Chains A and B, each alone.
Chain A
Amino acid sequence: MFRIAFACYLIFSTLPLIAQESVLRLYSATDISAIRPLLHEFETLNPEVTILYREFNTQELYDELLDPTLPPPDVVISSASDLQVKLVNDGFAQPIEDVPDVSSHQPWAQWSNELFGFTYEPIVFVYNKEAFHNRSIPHTHEALAEQLREQAKFYQGRIGTYDAASSGLGYLVASQDEVTFSLTGRLQESLGRARADIHCCTSLLLTRLTTGDLVFGYNLLGSYAMAKAMNNEHIGVIVPEDYALVIVRSAFVHRDAMEAELAADFIAYLRSSAGQKTIANNTALMPLDRTLGSHNDPENQLNSSTNFHPIRLGPELLLYLDQHKQTQFLNSWSQALGD
């Protein structure tokens, strides 16, 4: 089930030649291409700092931290809020002070003074434009469920979604769907009947959508999807109109960080207005500061009147990580999706 980790060291700028240079070790479940401008800017602001960036899948990152095979990181970044909360709850983080508030109305984007969110990435539908030529596109979860029932043939084997079993983010989105939306069970069954294609990563799903192998992607990460759609005319992105879950990518300073102060600076930078602007204008991510919008969102769907439902960073996310709860949820999910 688990995909092979594509872990790679990426060392920016020149190798440390001067002895005083400090190395900031980032372990992150974020596409390097999506976050690179932020790393560059931080290095420009702090010339003596070299960033060592290592990319993981969310679940792999979690496993690595529980059972380390590598030196401890300074900063841990992941979009799987539940795993992040679990790590902080279990004492893997250290508290930091003086982290700026992006907006005073977002208490859910921070937990205690240890875990800090810095992006606002809605969960979206992605469709293949050619396939939906002259077809009505579902804009709500209910409409999608209806179409799956009524146009079963069209969707058969051509709808894709995250694999909740192998992807931390997939599990989070699927479980939060269940908490938020009462018809989730029915929708899952419809997806199962339509023989939905399940994958670990947004990027793979997006590729298959552009090639036309899939016509519809359910519950994809909006940031990556919109970034892809900007450069690819084959796919379109819909922020569901009834409700849209929002993933808050979060970061914390590791308990055993070698450069704890620098790590705290990095997190403060992520939430500073400079960092937020860079996120909005140069990266595939979407800023927590909602007044900024995103350069990947020409239709300004991020500021539409959709019922956005950000997933709060807080201990209630621990519930679906309960051994029994997880087993039960995955059992019913697998049954519905009909492996």
Chain B
Amino acid sequence: MSMIEKLLALFSSSEEYSLRQRMLTRTALFMCTVLAILSVGVWHYANTSADYSYDRLLSSASVTMLDGINVAKNQVHIDLPYSGFEILQLAPDDKIYYAIYGPNADFLSGYSDLPVKLTDQKTDLMEPHYVLHTYKGKKVRFIVRQKRLSERSVAGNVTIILGQTTLARDTQMRDTLYAALTTLMVVMGTALLVMWIAINRALSPLNWLSSQLNTQSAMDKQNLPTTKMLEVAPLTQAINDYRQQWLSALAAMRDFIADASHQIRTAQATTKAQLEIALTSDNEQIDKNTINEIYKDHTKLTRLTNQLLAHATIVHRGDRQTFSVLAMQKILQDVITQAVRDYAHMDIEFEYVPPLQEVEILGDELVLKEALRNVIDNAVQHGSHTLNTSAIIRISLHHRQENHQVWVEDNGPGIPENMMNKALERFVKVGSNTQGSGLGLAIAQSAALTHRGQLSLSKSELGGLAVCFSFPHITDANDV
């Protein structure tokens, strides 16, 4: 057995292997083991059956010969019948040895030098027994059988020891063995052949799949052809789904790059135009207003670039799904603190409404912060800070039955209800403000979606826009 284990280890140690070869080899090894075990059984059976048949010959011949032993004239009288020897003639090439012993273990007839020991005369041995000995250089099977003589003059057991060489017996044993082994081997061979065909048949979908995939381009929108094999259908389905995800991600990327390049080029062109105007001016001194204009345009460009990068990061990270449990209050506090610091020079009033209990969600901290920051920036941009009133931005966190919600509201002009859906698209600017990039809400929505949440817009009670992030509970998020 250790030999087989070593062989198996040898097979499994190599890094690349053929499934077909491995299965066939293991099946063949297994069958060889089975064959070896069965062979021992068959060998035993062949031996037993050969012994059984030829022992019967010996037995009946010895009975017949004992029939010829009687008592006559107060002596043991031996007149062996011809039939006894004729029975043994059924094993035609085998030699015959016999000896007859009288009641006092006295040798009467036959071969006096047989290697069989006489059993104790006193024990009444009614059942004959068989022994195998080597006599005159040959294997000889002996039977020892006794017969009781009960005359007044001669009383006791006469014993006949009858032996026959084992040529016919061995031949029959071999014939049985070979016949059985041949049958076994044919069965095993057939099984291996069937196995080979079955393995090839089972592996053929793999070949089919690879040929299908090879002939198609990776960018091909076409699905793999449907298969009737129930076991293969899930695989083609999975490959199709996988490819579709990949393709849509690619399409989104392409659109994004197109949009982003357009936006960046436009902004750069504006800045460049301003600079050219400033340079071509006849004045040696550059007008402060011009620089101011250039600065504004540059700020816009920087903001746009940052947002584009943020968006790309969010989309990218969302694909990787590396979420952890986050305490929302902490995140909100961080974001608000940052915003307050950044907008300290502006007249903006930040309100924070904390939740009644702890709120935890499963998510990506960086993405969430970026999204919230964008929404707050958005609110700042659109918020109204007229001369007599300051802008108000209210940030609130709610623990609801069905989800968690983060609200960001402002008191600006807001967005008309019919424009709200459009406002979530990239590079779409709604309203009179031209400073925005049109990316803020799109980033927020991407973030919400990657957290299996939603972003919804509504009218705020402050008068402006209300942006609501909703996130599922941790348990729900795990379920999906």
A interface, CB within 8 angstroms of B: 88-91, 107, 111-113, 179, 314-316, 318-319, 322-325, 328
Contacts and interface: CB of A to CB of B under 8 A. Distances in A.
A70 to B, nearest CB: 22
A314 B78 contact: no
A314 B96 CA distance: 10
26 contacts: A89-B97, A91-B136, A91-B138, A107-B92, A111-B92, A111-B93, A112-B92, A112-B95, A314-B89, A314-B92, A315-B85, A315-B88, A315-B89, A316-B82, A316-B85, A318-B85, A319-B82, A319-B84, A322-B78, A322-B80, A322-B110, A323-B109, A324-B78, A324-B80, A324-B108, A328-B79
Interface residues of B, number: 23
Contacts of A113: 93
Given A112-B93, A179-B82, A324-B80, 9 more contacts: A91-B138, A111-B92, A112-B95, A315-B88, A316-B88, A318-B96, A319-B80, A319-B84, A324-B78
Contacts of B110: 322-323
A112 B85 CA distance: 16
B82 A90 contact: no
Question: Which 7 A-B residue pairings sit nearest by Cβ, starting from the closest?
Answer: A316-B85, A324-B78, A112-B93, A91-B136, A315-B96, A89-B95, A319-B85
Contacts of A88: 95
Nearest to B86: A316
A91 B137 contact: yes
B167 interface: yes
- With most chain B CB atoms within 10 A of its CB, the pick from A88, A91, A319 is A319
Contacts of B79: 324-325, 328
A70 B272 CA distance: 137
Interface string B85-122: 11011001111110000000000111000000000000
B95 to A, nearest CB: 5
Contacts of A316: 82, 85-86, 88-89
Interface string B65-85: 000000000000111101011
A111 B94 CA distance: 9
A122 B68 CA distance: 31
Nearest to B88: A315
Contacts of A323: 109-110
Given A89-B96, A315-B85, A316-B85, A322 B137 contact: no
A322 B86 CA distance: 15
A329 B82 CA distance: 13
B80 A315 contact: no
Nearest to B95: A89
B89 A325 contact: no
A113 B94 CA distance: 11
Contacts of A112: 92-95, 167
Nearest to B76: A324
Contacts of A322: 78, 80, 109-110
A111 B77 CA distance: 31
B78 A90 contact: no
A151 to B, nearest CB: 34
Contacts of A328: 79
Contacts of B88: 315-316
A254 to B, nearest CB: 15
A297 to B, nearest CB: 31
Nearest to B110: A322
A88 B165 CA distance: 13
Nearest to A326: B109
Contacts of A111: 92-93
A107 B84 CA distance: 20
Contacts of B78: 322, 324-325
Contacts of A179: 82
A113 B95 CA distance: 12
Contacts of B138: 91
A67 to B, nearest CB: 16
Contacts of A315: 85, 88-89, 94-96
A85 to B, nearest CB: 9
Give the interface centre of A91, A107, A111, A315 by most chain B CB atoms within 10 Å: A315
Nearest to B164: A315
Interface in B266-319: none
A325 B96 contact: no
A338 B74 CA distance: 26
A123 B332 CA distance: 132
A159 to B, nearest CB: 28
Contacts of B86: 316
A91 B96 CA distance: 11
Contacts of B94: 112, 315
A314 B109 CA distance: 20
Contacts of B77: 324
Nearest to A112: B93
Interface string B344-372: 00000000000000000000000000000
Nearest to B97: A89
A222 B274 CA distance: 148
A111 B136 CA distance: 18
Contacts of B93: 111-113
Nearest to B78: A324
B114 to A, nearest CB: 12
Contacts of B97: 89
Contacts of B137: 91
A223 B405 CA distance: 130
Nearest to B83: A316
A315 B98 CA distance: 12
A31 B80 CA distance: 34
Nearest to B135: A91
Contacts of B89: 314-316
A3 B109 CA distance: 28
B139 to A, nearest CB: 13
A153 B85 CA distance: 42
A320 to B, nearest CB: 9
B143 to A, nearest CB: 15
A319 to B, nearest CB: 5
Contacts of A91: 136-138
Given A316-B85, A319-B85, A90 B96 contact: no
B92 A324 contact: no
B133 to A, nearest CB: 14
A318 B84 CA distance: 11
Contacts of B95: 88-89, 112, 315
A40 B374 CA distance: 129
Given A112-B93, A318-B85, A318-B96, A325 B80 contact: yes
Contacts of B82: 179, 316, 319
A242 B88 CA distance: 29
B478 to A, nearest CB: 86
